[in-house]
Amino acid sequence: MKIGIVSDSHEQRHHLQAALQVLSKAGVEAVVHCGDVGDDLGMFDELAGIGVPVFFVWGNMDHPSPRWKAYLRDIGLDWPNGPLQLELDDKKIAVFHGHEPGFKRVLRSSGFDFILCGHSHERSLEEHNGTILINPGALHRTPVKSVAVLDTQTRVCHFFDLEGNPLPIPEPTT
């Protein structure tokens, strides 16, 4: 299964639209947004409109209003209550923004095949005790805006800029 990963869009709708177009062309079967979506409900319309399952978490700069719950439900998005634990393609996937207190503990636990996060605005690909940690980079406040595409079967992750050009795999920092 190919999973598209984005993060830190910070209400930059045109960047999110470009990112989703790149992911769509890559043939992703699901999209994960790792937080800091922004406070513009139109961002969620963009996510819901891609036509594949979408999962997201709140970031430290998100200020979700409880009034949004019904709206998100109506457009087919689930309201996250903290980090997510997903099972896609028989793989265990944790999704964090990256600022949460339990993030480092889960990273050390090796209870997941993949951990997806954002927050740093820097793309990264690391392995910790057999768990692959992926940060797709950011769609705002970074010189190169980027997304990631993870193939859960091959465990290979590719990074792309918003024009669909491949980006080099970041050097591990472990």
CATH number of the domain that 147 lies in?
3.60.21.10
Kindly report, residue by residue over 155-169, the tens digit of the pLDDT. 999 999 999 999 998
Kindly report, residue by residue over 8-46, the tens digit of the pLDDT. 999 999 999 999 999 999 999 999 999 999 999 999 999
In a domain, residue 172? The reply is: no
pLDDT band at 66 (very low <50, low <70, confident <90, very high): very high
CA–CA dist 64, 70 (Å, integer)? 12
Please tell me the predicted confidence (pLDDT) of residue 15.
98
In a domain, residue 53? The reply is: yes
Instruction: Provide CB contacts within 8 A for 125, sequence distance 6+.
Output: 132, 133, 134, 135, 157, 159, 169, 170, 172
Per-residue tokens: 26:
């890559």
Number of domains in the chain: 1
Kindly report, residue by residue over 115-168, the tens digit of the pLDDT. 999 999 999 999 998 999 999 999 999 999 999 999 999 999 999 999 999 999
CA–CA dist 100, 82 (Å, integer)? 9
In a domain, residue 117? The reply is: yes
Q: Which residue has the tokens 């406070």?
A: 39
Instruction: Provide CB contacts within 8 A for 101, sequence distance 6+.
Output: none
In a domain, residue 169? The reply is: no
Structural domain that includes position 117? 2-164
CA–CA dist 76, 64 (Å, integer)? 17
Kindly report, residue by residue over 68-77, the tens digit of the pLDDT. 999 999 999 9
In a domain, residue 174? The reply is: no
pLDDT band at 172 (very low <50, low <70, confident <90, very high): low
In a domain, residue 134? The reply is: yes
In a domain, residue 82? The reply is: yes
Contact 56, 37 (CB under 8 A): yes
In a domain, residue 170? The reply is: no
Contact 43, 13 (CB under 8 A): yes
Segments in 52-142 forming alpha helices (H): 68-74, 103-109
- pTM comes to 0.96
